[in-house]
Amino acid sequence: MNPEAFSDLAASRHSVRDFRPDPVPSEVIEEILEDARQAPSWSNTRPFMVALATGEQADRLRAAYVKEFDATLPVQHKERGAMARLALSGKAPDGDYRTWAPYPADLL
């Protein structure tokens, strides 16, 4: 990839801050999942899982994510003692994500 191509790619990306209420057509979802299936990953490990929720299940997940996000607001706003309370709650990230793992046997 040359510098111009990367610049075009970087300029074309965007973050979505709001979503339309109508459902995404299943054909579009299938195309997205196929693209994800073809995407490269470190040593072909595919370190991701995909789940699709719709309707009432999606509503419950949204509510749960909002609740978890709202619980972090005191830390985000740097309120006094918020980091200590978060650490004591056991919900603080501990950096214990495995970045190195044995190559999956089914891919050998």
Tell me the DSSP string of 3-64. HHHHHHHHHH--------SSPPPHHHHHHHHHHHHHS--GGG----------HHHHHHHHHH
Neighbours of 72 (CB within 10 A): 13
Question: What average pLDDT does the chain have?
Answer: 83
Nearest to 75, CA basis, from 63, 62, 92: 92
For the ranges 13-27, 35-49, 54-68, 91-105, the lowest mean pLDDT is seen at 91-105
Q: What are the pLDDT digits (tens) for 1-25?
A: 889 999 998 899 888 888 888 988 9
User: Global pTM?
Assistant: 0.53
